[in-house]
Amino acid sequence: MNNGALIIGDELLSGKRQDKHLGELIRLLAMRGMRLHYAEYLGDDPERIAASLARAFASGDRVFSFGGIGATPDDHTRAAAARALGAPLELQPQAAALIEARFGDDARPNRIRMAEFPRGAAIIPNPVNTIAGFSVGHVHFVPGFPSMAWPMVEWVLDTHYRDAFNPDPDIEQTLVALDAREGDLIDLMEAYTARYPALRLSSLPSFGTEAIKTPHIEFGFTGQPALVGVALAEFARDLKARGYTLA
């Protein structure tokens, strides 16, 4: 099962706020030996959100959706999720009870709408203000506020996906070839991609940095530690045989 993220809000695309969710989700997954496979940023466009959620529901992936589950007119995620599922929005009894317990008579008519989820949704507890998020299958919806969203993501992972935790996660190891050009090394990269299909090979060219002034390429292998070590050692040998200096 791949891990994905949908990060929603016009304020992110306009630059009013800088996204913090992507880096934190990567960290929370990595702590459990998992990794993020893809992410998508979306503005507050109901149709686009619904289309992205339809893909998420159909994918079978584990997807975390951040933002847009409040009760203001620019919060479209709950309704978009219902549209993507072809299901009605309904008051989720546990979520509604939590809002009523917190706000009393002030829960209605507006705050209670934050308990309207697609039919069949389960709640995600919110440790900050008790206003729940929700899950439908493997797609999980949390608020845009980091202080709430991040512990809710942790709860989802630790409650529902412990069997997916990896005690021996993949690692990445890198080396740098000085004065190298990617076009001259495509054949070598293709050979190693074919030789080690269980590994991911990356190539990051640079015209020079503060640390390494000359043009160079940073090559990396990602995968299980033992295999990464073997591949990197062989790759270094082959680069040296072609006359490249490694840093």
Residue with tokens 């549209």: 83
Question: What is the rounded CA–CA span in Å between residue 3 and residue 144?
Answer: 18
Task: Report whether pLDDT(210) > 90.
Answer: no
Q: 206: which residues sit within 8 A by CB, 6+ positions away?
A: 212, 215, 216, 217, 218
Average pLDDT of the residues in 148-169: 96
Residue with tokens 């009894």: 93
Q: 3-164: CATH homologous superfamily?
A: MoaB/Mog-like domain (3.40.980.10)
Question: What is the rounded CA–CA span in Å between residue 92 and residue 119?
Answer: 8
pLDDT score recorded for residue 57: 98
Whether omega for the bond prior to residue 169 falls within 30 degrees of 0, making it cis, is no
Average pLDDT of the residues in 129-149: 97
Confidence of residue 84 (pLDDT cuts 50, 70, 90): very high
Tens digit of pLDDT for each residue in 20-46? 999 999 999 999 999 999 999 999 999
Task: Report whether pLDDT(92) > 90.
Answer: yes
- The per-residue DSSP string of the chain comes to --EEEEEE-HHHHHTSS---HHHHHHHHHHTTT----EEEEE-S-HHHHHHHHHHHHHH--EEEEES--SSSTT--HHHHHHHHHT--EEE-HHHHHHHHHHHGGGGTTTGGGGGEEETT-EEE--TTT---EEEETTEEEE-S-HHHHHHHHHHHHHHH-GGG--SS--EEEEEEEET--HHHHHHHHHHHHHH-TTSEEEEEEES--SS--S-EEEEEEEE-HHHHHHHHHHHHHHHHHTTPPB-
Tally the C-alpha atoms within 13 A of residue 227's C-alpha that lie toward its C-beta: 17
Task: Report whether pLDDT(151) > 90.
Answer: yes
CATH number of 171-241: 3.30.1370
- 177 burial type by CB count under 10 A (0-12 exposed, 13-18 middle, 19+ buried): buried
Confidence of residue 223 (pLDDT cuts 50, 70, 90): very high
pLDDT score recorded for residue 211: 82
Q: Around Cβ 182, how many Cβ atoms within 10 Å?
A: 12
Domain ranges in the chain are: 3-164, 171-241
